[in-house]
Chain A
């Protein structure tokens, strides 16, 4: 049964079955059943109740004993992977148990096994699904109240363990709290005292928690108009309110209610005692979160009322949306249909919750779960499906976020600009810019004018300069991006002005135009080392050479990206030879900047190309970002686009090496196995010859991986060191002048430092080094706290 059921697969992919592999009849039934189980509760011509009854009938009568265990596994997988259908599967299991007590027992056994397995494997989302499912099985008379209480107590007892990270105890508390909307009512009814005690334990735990991470994860630093609550605090408030509402919620669809007569006759099972695997240093737990809040009921005056921030319904609806996103993110069509279909029996303003939850995902810190463009295209699709309501709600949201830009996390401002530009590009760039004209009089470093500037730049990158100039009102012209054209400081028309290098520039220009062979150009350049005595202090002869050559080359090939890339490829040899020192690399980067400073996108792409070609190396780019030449552009987002694409490129390089090493090792293991099994038959000599070379290759790769990892550590060290220096300097200068250092520049800079933690998985590897070398107690508390907040994400 290992054939299919890969949850990550594209649902559109047709199932292949070749003619010569004709399935047996039994397999056929099994496949059919699997399909029925997975699709249960999806759009169907007949009612869910009827489908359930039929399915139970088939499973009970027509399936052989051996097939049954496969079917049970399928049900367990569905429970883990399709949490939005928890209650549907609970009903199915309830009905099966009612028909056949032993099958019920087998299912419980398998569920418990699956729960243990995924907890051990750190598959936390699945663990949550199982805990919730156990809860719902109590509603279906499959599991006894008492044994569920025991499980909950075991989970909450994790908070008493010594020397464990808070994220561990948080997870197990969360698991219980998030199951309570399903089973709270039943437990309160039958086990009120035990439940009270459990909630008291949790309450105690809640007051003891550290919340250093809170600030690092906030999209907005201000709590007006809506507090940005820590996720567990928020859920605790919601559960507390649910408890005072007598555990009544309005959102969960419970198909088992229609079968209550049949189900209440069923015999219950006791969950076995489950022990939670103890903490291990290799375990990673989910990070804490902060709840993104944009709307309250006053924002949607027409139509149904929006449940309040502490209403459990708000939590349940959002949760449901997230489940749909995670189940269907590979298929926009199904995803958007399921989201629109969420409007169930109890009315709520669906568009508002959809917009809020999707934006929450886009702005999620440290990174969003899926690609930005997934969310962008999903919103486009939803706008298309609900043209009468969704676009207006989205526009309202954009206005509100714009109003709240002052205290928005810097990385989120980037994402906002990038998403909004993409969205506008699909709607003819229609927007009422005049509504934002107040931002024109603000300090240019203020988040609002900066956002508009970045957004217009993004729009231009998706279209062209003229188009964007047309869409904005006249007053906004000052925020328009530059015309993305190259500059050539050596192209002086006035013969009387002599600048160093202009002679060489003319000469090179001719050579390149005439397609002179590379060797000759190299020779011309080499001759210069001996002849020029450029008395300019700014340039050494070598750096002048670099500057002139690149300026001429980039201008000559400026017609399109393709021309530029092929020019770089063609003159690769020359470029490589020019890089003979750290200084030379800096010259190369500066030359590119001088030519293309009005074309940020190209700077991003070109630095990446140079890195890939080995013409500059990673530390050179990092140092360049913080150099005085770029100081003017330091707060612009493209600079950080370059830094992060550089870091990502390095990470990818390391990963590729590690993958190769893994493959070699596996190949070696395989050949060893093969050798030991058929030694007699095979030509042993030949195999022995293969062996040592393989060994060598592995060794040399291992070395490479090690070097690459130490380079990676270095790269992060360089970046952080620069941040610490530049921020400390700023603080000192301001304090010396008696001014507050908390100005716009500081805000942008500290936000960019925070943003480096976007690469959290990799930065975490170097925590102890960072702590002992850089983020020591000597540095300013305002800088140190950023690092401390980051560390608390897994503390």
Chain B
């Protein structure tokens, strides 16, 4: 659970840790550039009800660039996604999952 950190987070480290501990949002990395939202929905819905998916986009070309945020309604569902989906394949790539402190507009 120690890997990913949002380096742009404005606020203290403690603050950040606190938000992580209550988060229902995941960061998902190592996606294929061709993976579409609907595939992400299909796979991650297996752990529960998804509130929204935000595809990471390249700042200039506005195309997917290999990561996304997934927000669940329940923390336990998000936790299960980390437990069971992290390290398995989507579009034949091994994806990684981690907690995220919550998506803020502009982080794509």
Determine the chain A residues whose CB is within 8 A of the CB of B36 once the complex forms. 464, 560-561
Determine the chain B residues whose CB is within 8 A of the CB of A332 once the complex forms. 83-84
User: B20 interface residue, CB < 8 Å from A?
Assistant: no
Determine the chain B residues whose CB is within 8 A of the CB of A422 once the complex forms. 46
Instruction: Tell me whether A371 and B92 are in contact (CB under 8 A).
Output: no
For window 58-108 of B, CB contacts with A under 8 Å fall at 79-80, 83-85, 88-92
Determine the chain B residues whose CB is within 8 A of the CB of A428 once the complex forms. 92
User: Considering the chains assembled together, what is the distance between the CA atoms of A527 and B79 in angstroms?
Assistant: 51
Determine the chain A residues whose CB is within 8 A of the CB of B84 once the complex forms. 332, 371, 373-374, 376-377
| Complex partner residue of A560 from B37, B79, B80, CB under 8 angstroms | B37
User: Considering the chains assembled together, what is the distance between the CA atoms of A464 and B47 in angstroms?
Assistant: 21
Instruction: Tell me whether B47 and A605 are in contact (CB under 8 A).
Output: no
Closest to A378 in B: B84
Which of A428, A463, A601: most chain B CB closer than 10 A? A463
Determine the chain A residues whose CB is within 8 A of the CB of B79 once the complex forms. 10
| Complex partner residue of A601 from B42, B52, B85, B92, CB under 8 angstroms | B42
User: B26 interface residue, CB < 8 Å from A?
Assistant: no
For window 140-162 of A, CB contacts with B under 8 Å fall at none
- A side interface size, CB within 8 A: 28
Determine the chain A residues whose CB is within 8 A of the CB of B89 once the complex forms. 425-426
User: A262 interface residue, CB < 8 Å from B?
Assistant: no
Instruction: Tell me whether A462 and B37 are in contact (CB under 8 A).
Output: no
Instruction: Tell me whether B88 and A377 are in contact (CB under 8 A).
Output: yes
Q: A380-B88, A426-B89, A464-B36 are in contact. Are A373 and B47 (CB under 8 A)?
A: yes
CB distance from A67 to the nearest CB of B (A): 31
User: B9 interface residue, CB < 8 Å from A?
Assistant: no
Closest to B34 in A: A464
Determine the chain A residues whose CB is within 8 A of the CB of B92 once the complex forms. 425, 428
CB distance from B70 to the nearest CB of A (A): 12
Determine the chain A residues whose CB is within 8 A of the CB of B83 once the complex forms. 330-332, 374
User: Considering the chains assembled together, what is the distance between the CA atoms of A332 and B87 in angstroms?
Assistant: 11
CB distance from B16 to the nearest CB of A (A): 16
User: B38 interface residue, CB < 8 Å from A?
Assistant: yes
CB distance from B46 to the nearest CB of A (A): 4
Instruction: Tell me whether B42 and A461 are in contact (CB under 8 A).
Output: yes
Closest to B49 in A: A652
What 0/1 readout, one digit per residue, does chain A (363-384) give for beta carbons within 8 Å of chain B?
A: 0000000011110110010000
| Complex partner residue of A372 from B37, B42, B46, B91, CB under 8 angstroms | B46
Determine the chain B residues whose CB is within 8 A of the CB of A463 once the complex forms. 39, 91
User: B33 interface residue, CB < 8 Å from A?
Assistant: no
| Complex partner residue of B38 from A372, A602, A652, CB under 8 angstroms | A602
User: Considering the chains assembled together, what is the distance between the CA atoms of A79 and B88 in angstroms?
Assistant: 34
Determine the chain B residues whose CB is within 8 A of the CB of A374 once the complex forms. 80, 83-84
Instruction: Tell me whether B47 and A371 are in contact (CB under 8 A).
Output: yes
User: B4 interface residue, CB < 8 Å from A?
Assistant: no
Instruction: Tell me whether A601 and B41 are in contact (CB under 8 A).
Output: yes
User: A21 interface residue, CB < 8 Å from B?
Assistant: no
Q: A428-B92, A463-B39, A561-B37 are in contact. Are A373 and B85 (CB under 8 A)?
A: yes
Determine the chain A residues whose CB is within 8 A of the CB of B41 once the complex forms. 561, 601, 605
| Complex partner residue of A371 from B46, B52, B90, CB under 8 angstroms | B46
User: Considering the chains assembled together, what is the distance between the CA atoms of A373 and B79 in angstroms?
Assistant: 13
Q: A560-B37, A562-B37 are in contact. Are A462 and B88 (CB under 8 A)?
A: no
Determine the chain A residues whose CB is within 8 A of the CB of B34 once the complex forms. 464
CB distance from A558 to the nearest CB of B (A): 12
Instruction: Tell me whether B47 and A561 are in contact (CB under 8 A).
Output: no
- B side interface size, CB within 8 A: 25
| Complex partner residue of B88 from A330, A426, A464, A605, CB under 8 angstroms | A426
Determine the chain B residues whose CB is within 8 A of the CB of A371 once the complex forms. 46-47, 80, 84
Instruction: Tell me whether B37 and A601 are in contact (CB under 8 A).
Output: no
CB distance from A60 to the nearest CB of B (A): 39
User: A12 interface residue, CB < 8 Å from B?
Assistant: yes
For window 454-476 of A, CB contacts with B under 8 Å fall at 461-464
User: Considering the chains assembled together, what is the distance between the CA atoms of A377 and B82 in angstroms?
Assistant: 12
Which of B38, B41, B52, B79: most chain A CB closer than 10 A? B38
User: Considering the chains assembled together, what is the distance between the CA atoms of A331 and B88 in angstroms?
Assistant: 14
Instruction: Tell me whether B38 and A561 are in contact (CB under 8 A).
Output: yes
User: Considering the chains assembled together, what is the distance between the CA atoms of A373 and B97 in angstroms?
Assistant: 15
Closest to A426 in B: B89
User: Considering the chains assembled together, what is the distance between the CA atoms of A428 and B85 in angstroms?
Assistant: 17
Instruction: Tell me whether A601 and B38 are in contact (CB under 8 A).
Output: yes
For window 8-64 of B, CB contacts with A under 8 Å fall at 34, 36-39, 41-43, 46-47, 49, 52-53, 55
Determine the chain A residues whose CB is within 8 A of the CB of B43 once the complex forms. 462
Instruction: Tell me whether B85 and A461 are in contact (CB under 8 A).
Output: no
Closest to A14 in B: B1
User: Considering the chains assembled together, what is the distance between the CA atoms of A652 and B92 in angstroms?
Assistant: 34
CB distance from B61 to the nearest CB of A (A): 16
CB distance from B41 to the nearest CB of A (A): 6
User: Considering the chains assembled together, what is the distance between the CA atoms of A562 and B36 in angstroms?
Assistant: 10
Determine the chain B residues whose CB is within 8 A of the CB of A462 once the complex forms. 39, 42-43, 90
Determine the chain A residues whose CB is within 8 A of the CB of B37 once the complex forms. 560-562
CB distance from B74 to the nearest CB of A (A): 10
Which of A332, A373, A377: most chain B CB closer than 10 A? A373
For window 575-625 of A, CB contacts with B under 8 Å fall at 601-602, 605
CB distance from A425 to the nearest CB of B (A): 6
Determine the chain A residues whose CB is within 8 A of the CB of B42 once the complex forms. 461-462, 601
User: Considering the chains assembled together, what is the distance between the CA atoms of A463 and B34 in angstroms?
Assistant: 10
Determine the chain B residues whose CB is within 8 A of the CB of A605 once the complex forms. 41
CB distance from B39 to the nearest CB of A (A): 6
Determine the chain A residues whose CB is within 8 A of the CB of B90 once the complex forms. 425, 462
User: Considering the chains assembled together, what is the distance between the CA atoms of A561 and B64 in angstroms?
Assistant: 14
User: Considering the chains assembled together, what is the distance between the CA atoms of A565 and B52 in angstroms?
Assistant: 10
Determine the chain B residues whose CB is within 8 A of the CB of A560 once the complex forms. 36-38
Closest to B46 in A: A373
User: Considering the chains assembled together, what is the distance between the CA atoms of A425 and B39 in angstroms?
Assistant: 11
Closest to A10 in B: B79
For window 322-375 of A, CB contacts with B under 8 Å fall at 330-332, 371-374
Instruction: Tell me whether A561 and B53 are in contact (CB under 8 A).
Output: yes
User: Considering the chains assembled together, what is the distance between the CA atoms of A377 and B36 in angstroms?
Assistant: 22
User: Considering the chains assembled together, what is the distance between the CA atoms of A422 and B89 in angstroms?
Assistant: 9
User: Considering the chains assembled together, what is the distance between the CA atoms of A330 and B43 in angstroms?
Assistant: 18
For window 374-421 of A, CB contacts with B under 8 Å fall at 374, 376-377, 380
User: Considering the chains assembled together, what is the distance between the CA atoms of A332 and B52 in angstroms?
Assistant: 26
User: Considering the chains assembled together, what is the distance between the CA atoms of A94 and B5 in angstroms?
Assistant: 50
CB distance from A489 to the nearest CB of B (A): 23
| Complex partner residue of B1 from A12, A330, A426, A464, CB under 8 angstroms | A12
User: Considering the chains assembled together, what is the distance between the CA atoms of A332 and B84 in angstroms?
Assistant: 7
CB distance from A468 to the nearest CB of B (A): 12
CB distance from A659 to the nearest CB of B (A): 12
User: Considering the chains assembled together, what is the distance between the CA atoms of A461 and B89 in angstroms?
Assistant: 14
For window 516-561 of A, CB contacts with B under 8 Å fall at 560-561
User: Considering the chains assembled together, what is the distance between the CA atoms of A373 and B46 in angstroms?
Assistant: 6
Determine the chain A residues whose CB is within 8 A of the CB of B85 once the complex forms. 373, 377
User: Considering the chains assembled together, what is the distance between the CA atoms of A254 and B39 in angstroms?
Assistant: 49
Instruction: Tell me whether B55 and A562 are in contact (CB under 8 A).
Output: yes
Closest to B1 in A: A12
Known: A373-B80, A461-B39. 4 other contacts (CB 8 A): A331-B83, A461-B38, A561-B41, A602-B38
Q: List 25 A-B contacts (CB under 8 A).
A: A12-B1, A371-B46, A372-B46, A373-B80, A373-B84, A373-B85, A374-B83, A422-B46, A425-B89, A425-B90, A426-B88, A426-B89, A462-B39, A462-B43, A462-B90, A464-B34, A464-B39, A560-B38, A561-B37, A561-B41, A562-B37, A565-B52, A601-B38, A601-B42, A605-B41
* Interface residues, chain A, with chain B CB atoms under 8 Å away: 10, 12, 330-332, 371-374, 376-377, 380, 422, 425-426, 428, 461-464, 560-562, 565, 601-602, 605, 652
Closest A-B pairs by Cβ, 9 of them: A373-B46, A561-B37, A377-B84, A461-B42, A426-B89, A373-B84, A374-B84, A561-B38, A462-B42
* Interface residues, chain B, with chain A CB atoms under 8 Å away: 1, 34, 36-39, 41-43, 46-47, 49, 52-53, 55, 79-80, 83-85, 88-92
